[in-house]
Structures are given as C-alpha cells and as structure tokens.
Amino acid sequence: MTKRLGFILACVALLIGSIACQSSSSPAASTAPDLQLRIGLLPIVDVLPIYVADAEGYFKEQKLDVQLTLFSSAMERDSAFQTAQIEGELNDLVSVGLLNKDGERAKVVRTTYRGNAKQAMISVLAAPGSKIQKPADLKGVQIGLSGNTVMEYATDRLLRASGLGAGEFQTTEVTKIPVRAEMLAKGQIQAATMPEPFASVAVQQGARVVIDDQRTAQNQSVMTFRQDVVEKHSDEVRRFLAAYEKAVQVINEKPESYRNLLIDKAMIPESVRQSLAMPVYPRAAVPNREEVTDVVDWMAGKGMLSQKLSYERIVNGQLLPK
C-alpha cells in the first residue's frame, strides 16, 4: 500500500512539474514577434503616409514589424508580390485585377491616393513646343505610356470623357517613366501620360497639361495585401491600417512638416521640390463598386481578363479603422 501511494504521489509530482513548465513557457510564446509585414513601394507621392507612419513610430505603437522595400518598377514590385517576397504593396486597381485573374490572390484594403482639386494624380501632356492645346488635338497622335496599366486606363477614360472616340487616339509603349519623360522633353514623342511628380517636372521643362484627373478623381492608388495574409493575419493588417490612418491625419494637418520626407522618398527632382503642392491624402475608404466595375470592364474589353471579377474578389473594406 505504501509503495502504491508513493507511486501515485510521484506521478502527481511529475504532472504538476509538467504543468509548471508549460505555464512558464507561455509568456515567451505570447511575446513572440508578429508576422513581418514587407511592403513594396514605388518612388511616387502616394507613398508618403507609409513612410510617415514608419518615421513617427506609429507602426511600433501598433506592435508591428514593418519593412519597406522600394522597387524601380511596378513589374518588379508585382513579381515580388506573386512570389511572396512581400506581404503587401501600394499599387492600383489594374494591377490588382491582373494579380487576381487566375485566382483570389490579392485584396485591396484601402484607397491611398486619388486625383483631387488641388493636385492631379495622372496627366496627359503635350511635348514642349507642340501645337496640341486640347484633347481634340490628340486625334491621331501617338501617346507614350505603359500599356495594360493604370496609365492606359486613365488615358482611355480621360480622353473618352472629353469626346474622343476609342479609335481616334493611339498609344505607343514607353514602359519606364523616366525614359518617357525624357522623350517628351526632347519632342521624340508628341504626348505622354505621366503620374506625379513626373508630370510637374515635365511642365517645368515646357510640357503642357492637355487633360488630367483633378476634376474626375477617377484614378486611385490602393493598399493591397496578399489574400493569405488577409485571411491568416487580419489583426496585423487592421493595426497597419490604424497606423496608416494616424499618418494621414498628421500629414493633412501639417503638410509642410513632411515635405523633406516626401522629397526624399518620392525622389522629387530639385527643380520642383519647393513648388510641388503637398498632396492631400484621403481618409479611410476603399474603392466603391462602380469604380471597381469600370476598371474590370475596361480590362475585360481589352482581353486582359478571361472573366469579369467580382467586387468581393478584389476589395475587403472590413479592416479599416472604425
């Protein structure tokens, strides 16, 4: 009996010891770092709130490990996204449509920038010395841009709204924006579609804005995360957006405080550093159904999509700050 009692007590002691070990290890597990959010960016004005959130420590306040990676082209950025080298990227609805054409792989969680009354996002410009004054003058003119991108979408929608028919203007492929800007400045192409800050630089070099999206606000950049990240790490994405929202608020309240950061991260040329209007960044929202449908319809019409994508396949507005 004594031996049996001793055996039972020994077993109880081992069980208690095991529980104690598990309890002592649980705080370590709870303090394990969250997923690192690697974010792909381009050197454009749209990126400023992300850099402000990083510089001001807003991501750290949300206990996030965020790594910002600058890419020289949208193609390189999207390739990194497709191969899971980054968790998220600042891109546009055409890019998201292409990422999702073969499956639900990317989800838009916020609009990050759009043209507004203070500053255009995308402009169609005429070369210095050109006789092109208005959209109708672009009839039959080759417009330099990157095909199958938001640049082509914006050009089509802006010119169609101005009264030009689908076959009345042509485009020519000039993928890299700096090359496009140089060709426009030298008159090697008579017109080109450019984002900011390149459009402002072109104007300083003598180019003329023929039409832009200041009044329509139709074009927008967006924050996009991989679908698997949204599904498995929605809390991290939610906290990322909370930090982002705080950055938008401080920029819009004191824009000049962040001019130097914008100059650095968007690689603003010296010639326009002080004259460039500081962007006004939109508050928390996602693209609406009409905007997404228009982009999807345009892409399908060009054969970029084999089937039309639903709004829900592209956008998730449930993670925005309340």
CATH of the domain at 177: 3.40.190.10
Residues 109 and 246 in one domain: yes
- Looking at the chain, list the stretches that DSSP marks H as alpha helix, in order from N- to C-terminal side: 2-30, 48-55, 58-61, 74-82, 93-99, 150-161, 177-185, 198-204, 227-232, 234-253, 259-265, 289-301, 311-314
Which of 177, 212, 247 is a domain's end point?
212
What is the tally of structural domains in the chain? Answer: 2
- Going by C-alpha positions, the residue among 116, 114, 81 that lies closest to residue 96 is 81
Angle at 147 between CA 181 and CA 123, to 5 degrees: 45
Are 67 and 129 part of one and the same domain?
A: no
Residue where one domain finishes, among candidates 195, 212, 229: 212
Is residue 24 situated within a structural domain?
Answer: no
Could you tell me the two tokens for 307? Answer: 């089937």
In this structure, are 154 and 84 located in the same domain? no
55 with 84, same domain: the answer is yes
Give residue 151's domain range: 122-212
Give the Å distances, CA to CA, from 156 to 132, 149, 271: 17, 11, 30
How would you label 81-93 residue by residue, b for 16+ Cβ within 10 Å and e otherwise?
beeeebbbbbbbb
Quick check: 124 and 133 in contact, CB under 8 A? no
Task: Judge whether 174 lies within some domain.
Answer: yes
Eight-class DSSP state of 172: E
The reply to whether 26 falls in a domain is: no
Q: Which of 212, 239, 272 is the last residue of a domain?
A: 212
Residue 235 located in a structural domain: yes
The tens-digit pLDDT sequence of the chain (322 residues) is 444 444 444 444 444 444 444 444 333 333 444 689 999 999 889 999 999 999 999 999 999 999 999 998 888 999 999 999 999 999 999 999 999 999 999 999 999 999 888 889 999 999 999 999 999 999 999 999 998 899 999 999 999 999 998 889 999 999 888 899 999 999 999 999 999 889 999 999 999 999 999 888 788 999 999 999 999 999 999 999 999 999 999 999 999 999 999 999 988 888 888 888 899 999 999 999 999 999 999 999 999 999 999 999 999 999 999 8
pTM for the full predicted model? 0.84
